[in-house]
Structure 1
Amino acid sequence: MAKFHLTPNSVQEILETYDEDVIVTNREGIIIKATRISGQHYGIEVEELIGKSVYELQSAEIFSPAITPLVLRQKKKVVTIQKTPSGAKVLITGMPFFNEIGEVEFVVSYSYDVSELLVIQEYMKEQEFEMSKVQEELQLLRKKSFSMKGLIIESKETHEAYAVAHKVAPLDVSIVLYGEQGTGKTTMAKRIHKESSRTNGPFIELDCATIPESMFDKELFGEQIGIGKTATISPGLLSIAEGGTLFLKKVDRLPLHLQGKLLKVLKDERLKPLGSEETLSLDIRLISSAETELFQATTENRFLKEFHYFLTIIPIHLQPLQSRKEDLSALITYFLHYFSAKYNTEKSLSDSVFNLLLKLEWKGNIHELRNVIERIIVQSPEQIIGINDLPPEYRMQFEEGLTDIDLDGQTLPTILEHVEKKVLNNARQRYKTTTEMAKVLGISQPSVVRKLKKHTLPD
């Protein structure tokens, strides 16, 4: 932009620049300075603008509207759209220059052709689109890092649970994993062990719900075999876990009197095998799992309070599969590919089956889902698996089209809005990125993003 000084005695002049449209008026609205390019917007020579009153130019509809009166009245920066005699539109900005007594002495305005701004806006949209693709690729890379480690993690809840597990894994504190059967507690326990300082030590599982009470001491503490110098110790699970991790599965199912016996050994960090007078040191890391809250179990006298406090330094909750739609969708796809490869076939799910699987309760969580996918892969004679290929106990009434829409009192636009939202929601659950959704739905990626925001669905 050309440099100029605003002084009360400045002469009328044309600024030598072809790059910017700048006009300077005094407090009476007389144009005292302008750049060469200024007249082009209004179809006149710049020499015809110098000395003219903006009020006269506004009356002649050359300036429509003039910016100077607006700035003089408001005494602040003003931005507006101005229509030129040719019908073009320019975005014009007016800035006040004040004198020593606080009055507006000059108004400097500069403008841009709106069409140029639209080009810039379109460019910015393209950049935004490219950035959204980059962000999606980064998200996929983050998710792949979990998958490469043998994990399927898509939902926010599971990400948060594993973030806590990753943070506390090296700390050697006792952890309790809460969740229904099949929610992935054993997988998380193994991940914590692998990321701990005991990763080179053993990982030993003890199912507290199935171990016979009569075998409890022998299984956990071990047993001395023989007497005298020929005596040997048959190690129990605690000794085998020495230097590693002991995973107490379903610890909430352990009988009350056995809880006290195990607690004493764990607190003392010493154990005595059956039939032996010798005590052995104990150095293990504890991870437990439970399907019910241990604190609630203490209030019902099913669990020792002291044992609860000993075990529960860090609680981590894993949600049921049905409430983790992103994980459920990813696991369906994962098991579909896994069992197709295992049985040397190539199967895919129809949209109706995929959406139906997303709606089922999955009370057995991942174990149940894995079983069902394997069954339909093996049993279905068709390449595309349909509703009739599901096991009988999983078949539900399912109708295609608009039969689930109540038509009474609804206009066609309302019905179409309902259908669009339903289609977008189904696509969002099945496909990982808006780019994939756009390809399947046959629309642009920006259109997908706009429609998701329109229906307040996550993009």
Structure 2
Amino acid sequence: MVDTHQSLASQLQEALLIVEDDPYAQKKLCQALESEGSILTAHSLSVSAALQQLLTSVVVIGRCDANTLSLMKEILSFAPRTKVLVVVNTENDGDAVLALESGAFDIIEQPFSDELLRLLVRRARHIGQLEREVDRLKSYERRQESILGGSPQMMQLLRMVDRVSLTDINVLIYGESGTGKALLARAIHDRSPRSEKPFITINCASIPEELLENELFGIESDTLGVRRVKVGKIEAAHGGTLFLDEIGDMPLHVQAKVLRFVQDRVVDRISGQRSIPVDVKIVCATHQDLKQRCSEKRFREDLLHRIGDVPITIPPLRERGDDVLLLAKTFLLQFNQSMNRSISGFSDDALEALLTHMWPGNVRELQNKVKSAVIMADGNQISASDLALTKEQKKDSGLPLNIRQVREEAERQAVTRALARAEGNMSQTANLLGVSRPTLYTLIEKYALQR
């Protein structure tokens, strides 16, 4: 049973939970901590029920005995970040050590000073707040690096990512250089049940051939009777995700050993004495046509079948339509912050250049262009010259000849550019296009444009 003098609404706020079966000792702890906000009490047998009802980051356990250790295990398994303070008896020196070894955040000896107890509770809460802030900042940084895009191709890709992330199926990512293959691999890991485990990356194209096998599988050596072990990348990823970037450049002899690992999920260190089981999710990426390399006998077909359970292709930036504007504005916000600039946006000629450039370097090229422009811009807007881009005519790569299709494409581009110039303001966009707001909304819905 959970006892509290607070209302149900206050139970939803973060409260201090006191666990003590003895009524007198429980009352003494409550009186000592009454100035520390909402206080809730529970008997040792009802801790689970209390934790499920309440939001709490600090638990005070009034005594240290055999039951306390199982209590702490229960609390920390339910909420690992909880700070548990334990009251210990000075007559038993082993209690303090046992409590700390079992996961207690801190201890206080009986008899204790009320002021010291309050100080320890405040300290525990402060540490908990700092940890949550670190988590929030990490989450923010992760979102800053998240995959952005509203084009139909990217929406479909993100749906695939959500599905494959929930399984341990092998994923093979295809994409040109600069499209964000590593970012996509990270997103798959972050959305998976393995997100708290290691995400280990190895670029198969950047490591010399003679060292790649060592890096992947590890090595054991015996020097003057001393056994030394270097753990490989595969083994280091145990429990998490292994990302083999540019796997198309992996030498054939290494491919054979990787094939065995993929099939059997065991690692044989070089000069090792035994096979080591490894549990990992495998994500691979390449900018090459692996089927073509198989036909050229430069990539093993059996390995391709093993790693390519689900192939995902990232579209090049030139095929993602209006995503270029969304990405450019996102990069501008990021570089404004990191470089302490206050550039408001892109000029008309810059928007034209962004939309017409072919982006051979894809998202990486766009990011570098915007970064350079933020450094070079003199005014409060980035121009085409700041981006080092000039308006280009897109090459005829299967452009429609049908008059209706040509007209619709021109209409879509006009609405897109007007939205960009008006920074999403509907009234200004309608004025630029010379149409009414209801007509503008119809056009936006017709072409599935992002507002």
Q: Is the 8 A contact 2:219 2:270 kept in 1?
A: yes
CA gap of 1:361–1:378, structure 2 versus 1, over 3 A, is same
Match of 1:389 in 2: 386
Partner of residue 173, structure 2:
177
CA contact (8 A) 2:213 2:254 kept: no
Q: Distance in 2 between matches of 1:294 and 1:160?
A: 23
Equivalent of 1:202 in 198, 201, 204: 198
Q: Which among 146, 161, 165 is matched to residue 165 of structure 1?
A: 161
Structure 2 equivalent of residue 26 of structure 1:
none
> Cα distance, 1:425 vs. partner?
4.3
Where 1:389 maps in the other structure, the secondary structure is coil
Separation in 1 of the partners of 2:379 and 2:201?
A: 41
Amino acid at match of 2:418: A
- The answer as to 2:368 corresponding to 1:371 is yes
Partner SS state of residue 263, structure 1 = helix
Q: Name the counterpart of 1:352.
A: 349
Give the 5 Å matches for 1:261-410: 261-347=257-343, 348-391=345-388, 394-396=389-391
Kept in 1, the 8 Å contact 2:146–2:183? The answer is no
Counterpart residue type for residue 353 of structure 1: A
Report if aligned partners of 1:208, 1:254 keep a CA contact under 8 Å in 2: yes
Please give the residue correspondences for 1:118-133 in structure 2 after superposition, counting only pairs within 5 Å: none
> Once the two structures are superposed, what CA deviation does each residue of 1:140-196 show, in whole Å capped at 9, x if it has no partner?
xxxxxx968833121111110110110121110000011111112111111111122
Identity in percent: 28
Q: Which amino acid aligns with 2:323?
A: D
1:217 aligns with 2:213: yes
In terms of mean alpha carbon deviation, does 304-313 or 231-240 score higher? 231-240
Q: Structure 2: which amino acid aligns with 1:395?
A: T
Deviation of 1:286 (Å):
0.5
Residue type at the aligned position of 1:447:
T
Aligned equivalents of 2:429, 2:387: Cα separation in 1: 26
How far did 1:304 drift? 0.8
Unmatched runs of 5 consecutive residues or more in structure 2: 1-141, 394-407
- The change in CA–CA distance for 1:193 and 1:422 in structure 2 (over 3 A counts) is closer
**What amino acid maps onto 1:231 in structure 2?**
R
Q: CA deviation at 1:442?
A: 7.7
Q: CA deviation at 1:327?
A: 1.6
Instruction: Note the 1:128-143 alignment, pairs <5 A.
Output: none
Deviation at 1:437, TM superposition (A): 2.9
User: Is 1:236 aligned with 2:232?
Assistant: yes
For residues 57-116 of structure 1, give each alpha carbon's deviation from its aligned partner in whole angstroms, at most 9, with x where no partner exists.
xxxxxxxxxxxxxxxxxxxxxxxxxxxxxxxxxxxxxxxxxxxxxxxxxxxxxxxxxxxx
Change (3 A) 1:390 1:200: closer
Q: Note if contact 1:425-1:457 (Cα within 8 Å) is conserved in structure 2.
A: no
Alignment match, 2:56: none
CA deviation vs aligned residue, 1:200-232 (integer Å, no higher than 9, x gap): 211111111112111122111112243587413
Which residue is equivalent to 1:51?
none
Distance (Å, rounded) in 2 between the aligned partners of 1:289 and 1:272: 23
Amino acid at match of 1:313: D
From 407, 425, 447, the counterpart of 2:439: 447
CA distance in 1, matches of 2:188, 2:412: 40
Q: CA deviation at 1:261?
A: 2.1
How far off its partner does 1:309 sit? 0.5
Amino acid at match of 2:439: S
**2:371 maps to amino acid:** E
The Cα shift of 1:256 comes to 2.2
Amino acid at match of 2:237: A
Q: Which amino acid aligns with 2:374?
A: I
Q: Secondary structure at the match of 2:206?
A: coil
Pair 300,386 (structure 1): closer, same or farther in 2 beyond 3 Å: same
Cα distance in 2, alignment partners of residues 212 and 433 from structure 1: 53
- The TM-score with structure 1 as length reference comes to 0.58
Task: State the Cα deviation string for residues 214-267 of structure 1 (Å, max 9, x = none).
Answer: 112211111224358741311011111111111010111112222112112332
Q: State the distance in 2 between where 1:422 and 1:209 align.
A: 39
CA shift for structure 1 position 438: 3.3
Change (3 A) 1:298 1:387: same
After alignment, is 315-324 or 286-295 more displaced?
A: 286-295
How much does 1:458 deviate?
Answer: 4.8
| Maintained 8 Å contact 2:351/2:417 | no
| Distance change (3 Å), C-alpha of 1:224 and 1:357 | same
SS of 2:312's equivalent in the other structure is: strand
Letter in 2 for 1:427: A
Specify the SS of the correspondent of 1:325: coil
Residue aligned with 1:191, SS: helix
> How far apart in 1 are the matches of 2:439 and 2:192?
46
Call closer, same or farther: CA 1:157–1:216 in 2, change over 3 Å.
same
Query: Which letter does structure 2 place at the counterpart of 1:338?
Result: Q
CA spacing shift, 1:390–1:216, aligned 2, 3 Å: closer
Say which SS state the counterpart of residue 231 (structure 1) adopts. strand
Gaps of 5+ in 1: 1-145, 399-416
| Alpha-carbon contact 1:179-1:290 (below 8 Å) kept | yes
Whether contact under 8 Å (1:147, 1:153) holds in the other structure is: no
Give the superposed CA RMSD.
3.1
**TM-superposed deviation, 1:288:** 0.4
Could you say what secondary structure the match of 2:282 adopts? strand
1:440 offset after TM fit, Å? 6.3
CA distance in 1, matches of 2:321, 2:365: 15
2:438 aligned counterpart, secondary structure: helix
Measure, in 2, the Cα distance between the counterparts of 1:294 and 1:264: 19
Give the greater-gyration-radius structure (CA): 1
Aligned residues of 2:215 and 2:232 also touching (Cα < 8 A)? yes
